[in-house]
Structure 1
Amino acid sequence: MSTHGACKQENPVGFWPVRKSKIGLIVNPIAGMGGKVGLKGTDGTATLMRAKNLGAVPLAGKKTQQALSQLRLLEDRFEILTSPGEMGEKVSKASGLIPTIVTAKTGATTTRTDTINAVRTLLQSGVELLLFAGGDGTACDIFSSLDSSTPILGIPAGVKMHSAVFANSPVSAGRLLSSLVQRTSPSFPIKSAEIMDLDEDARRRDSIQTTIIGYANVPVDRARMQSSKAYGFPEEIHAIDSICKFLVQNLTSGASYIVGPGTTTQSLLARMGIQGTLLGIDVVQDKTILHRDLNESQLLRYADKHPIKIIVGVIGGQGFLFGRGNQQITAEVIKRAGKESIIVVSSSEKILSLENQRLLVDTGDPKVDAELSGYIKVQVEARKTMIVKVEPA
């Protein structure tokens, strides 16, 4: 990983003053649209058009509303300052709030320039915390015009969310914000968190190029804030190889396996002599790849005709099974398989490094998240599993 340009100085844990809170809100309306349709992101006009042509629909507004719904009956404790239309006004009103519009009207399609200008205007308006809905790309845009002290809080709504500025889920973001505006103390704790980004063009070529863009202040909440994605556990290489060898020998003949993205699952495919899609979703049967890099619609069409099993890894440092980087495996796809047909592969080192050794799910469907919660077997060695707790994010 490299450090980008002139990063703002990383700050130690501190405190930020609280009064009747002035909360800035920025929604990136197109964030996350590339996820279900398998585009690994939505940066750039051409990618957005392709996503729409594949049937992608906006998701960020709905996720923002899930967060803001946690603030019902607290309107006397805070004020929302935001941008017109899809960048915040519409979802604020849909959530029963009366926002103050402080930025200029945007065009029919919002751009990163609109986000950058909105940040500047909101900071000039004296917001005490900046709430935003998007992914790593949106976080980077916000960082580019952020001052060195104002805290930010991300509602996870993008495709890539490796940064540590996001809550675990939209509901977690709302609950965290609810706790902040109800505080009776004059301040709330903040800490410095990494903002990271992946090169989307490289990602589409199955290459992972990660950059630390800088550091921003975020509220301290170990239960509700996600960690940054962790890369590389050198001690797990041998364990993963032995797990993959064992699984290949024990795959059910004739069964169809949906294989999630990541280096762990790619090791499994390599054991079969298959070059899979590092950052996409493949379907294999009897050690043969049937379909590469499928999106949600393609997976559902396949699952409607064939019984399926799902093989997924665990995101290092964060512990997500679903909802980060594998949005093509939606709640509907998971329903087709069932919890009993999900195979989780990870080294024990990766599991033990997680906060509370728990796994998280954020499918966007509360009912499916609840059905996945409880405990699940994780294959951590060739003939050894760990029983790990699963919680809705």
Structure 2
Amino acid sequence: MRRFKLGLVVNPYSGIGGAMALKGSDGPDIRAQALAMGAQQLANPKTAQALAQLDALADRVEVFTAAADMGEQVARQAGLPCQVVYQPVQHQTEGEDTEAALRAILEHQPDMILFAGGDGTARLVFDVVGEQATVLGVPTGCKIHSGVFAVSPAAAGRVLSQVVGGQLVSVQRAEVRDIDETLFREGKVQARYYGELWVPLELRYMQSVKSGGKESDELVLDDIADYVAADIEEDDDCLFVIGSGSTTAHIMQRLGCDNTLLGVDIVQHGQLLDSDVTEQALFSLVSQQRSKLVITLIGGQGHILGRGNQQLSPRVVDAIGRDNIVLVATKTKLNALNGRPLLVDSGDPEFDQRMSGPIRIVCGYQDHVLYPVAGLED
């Protein structure tokens, strides 16, 4: 089984000024002052509390991190195999080290990035990562105004263990906020909104969805269709490859386009360009233009590729890119799998393995979950 690729970045000086009444830890002068006053560095011990939740799953995780106390040390202490992808050049690391570490981790296409710090660190994560990966913050800073952190280090570990363990975990955007430390030291709290990051949450099933029934499913399908159709209509420069299935047919209906229920269609800017295309024609198109692939899963089985959509060959999907797959399904459909992973059966074992790992699924309007994909050999 492909190991879960976990990015890990620790700001080792996070929170160091709190106990010293310095109202934060931003800036080398503040950190030096806190250390001179005897402040303890608690970011790594708190990160260890989160990683301890992975003890039973250590053989399913590979950590990509920065050297020494920026992640390597605590990962190895937790018994997690790790690959050091960034080496800081200075002993007292700065924000640019966090940014460089994040960029190096992104090159390895992590399934999730765990970071330890406060609002200042969250801002750096937002600047570098954006929407490229799902993240989760371990709260270790003096200021925690952002919504991207778990309520405690142990809570972060519990959510992480759910994701690594293959449980159905929702993801949603959460705000990154930070206050002005200079004003804070003057007794003024001024928090500023910087942006949003994708973060995992413990799944809360909607009762109307879990209850099943045609009416509730229709409402959810409408939400999915509205969300995906808006993306198709707004992204003028992208080709959208629409796979087979009743869920994708709902999207085509929302666009007002004819749909090949058992075939593959091409849409751009909300307009149908071609219907029931062959693998050869499809490969020619997606090799020349930025594309996204909209597909669903076979109910009860969980196959997303290789069953009934052979036009979506390994070379076609590779040309589009895994990150450009828009997978759509209701939570009712996912719940019917009873925890079994999604499946890929392309006939190419190496491709099937590349496709494995957590994938984001659109389950409603701005409602997503993370769910595992496994090749048949898993």
Correspondence for 2:96 among 107, 113, 126: 113
1:140 aligns with 2:127: no
Q: List per-residue Cα deviations over 1:10-33 (Å, max 9, x = no partner).
A: xxxxxxxx9631000000000001
Cα separation, 2, equivalents of 1:105 and 1:73: 31
Q: What does residue 203 of structure 1 align with? A: 184
> Structure 2, unaligned stretches of length 5 or more?
205-378
Q: 1:178 to 1:184 in 2, by over 3 A?
A: closer
Matched residue of 2:176: which SS? strand
Q: 1:62 Cα deviation (Å)?
A: 0.3
Q: What corresponds to 1:98 in structure 2? A: 81
1:221 corresponds, among 199, 202, 218, to: 202
Q: Is the contact between residue 84 and residue 106 of structure 1 (CA under 8 Å) also seen in structure 2? A: no
User: What's 1:70 paired with?
Assistant: 53
More helix by share: 2
**TM-score (ref. length: structure 2):** 0.52
1:211 aligns to what SS in structure 2? strand
Do the aligned partners of 1:23 and 1:131 also contact (CA within 8 Å) in 2? yes
Q: Deviations over 1:279-334 (max 9, x none)?
A: xxxxxxxxxxxxxxxxxxxxxxxxxxxxxxxxxxxxxxxxxxxxxxxxxxxxxxxx
What's the offset of the Cα at 1:54? 1.9
Report the CA distance between 1:143 and its aligned residue: 1.0
How far is 1:222 from its partner? 7.1
1:33 aligns with 2:42: no
RMSD between aligned residues = 1.7
Rate the CA distance shift 1:169–1:90 in 2: closer, same or farther, 3 A. Answer: same
Q: Against the structure 1 CA distance between its residues 211 and 222, is the aligned structure 2 distance closer, same or farther, given a 3 Å change threshold?
A: farther
Q: For residues 351-378 of structure 1, give each alpha carbon's deviation from its aligned partner in whole angstroms, at most 9, with x where no partner exists.
A: xxxxxxxxxxxxxxxxxxxxxxxxxxxx
Aligned length: 204
Distance 1:148 1:182 in 2: 23
Aligned letter for 2:136? L
Alpha-carbon distance between aligned partners in 2 of 1:118 and 1:173, rounded to the nearest angstrom = 21
Distance between the aligned counterparts of 1:116 and 1:109, measured in 2?
A: 15
Aligned-residue identity in percent: 41
Return the offset for 1:74.
0.7
CA distance in 2, matches of 1:106, 1:26: 16
Deviation per CA, 1:97-145, whole angstroms, max 9, x where unpaired?
Answer: 2211112343111110000111111111110111000000010011111
CA distance in 1 between counterparts of 2:155 and 2:106 reads 24
Alignment-derived partner of residue 45 in structure 1: 28
Moved over 3 A (4+): none
Per the alignment, in what secondary structure is the counterpart of residue 100 of structure 1? strand
**Aligned equivalents of 2:75, 2:103: Cα separation in 1:** 20
Greater relative contact order (Cα < 8 A, sep 6+): 1
Task: Find the counterpart in structure 1 of residue 149 from structure 2.
Answer: 166
8 Å CA contact 2:170, 2:203 repeated in 1: no
For structure 1, which segment, 176-185 or 44-53, has the greater mean C-alpha deviation from structure 2 after superposition? 176-185
Return the index of the structure with the highest Cα Rg. 2
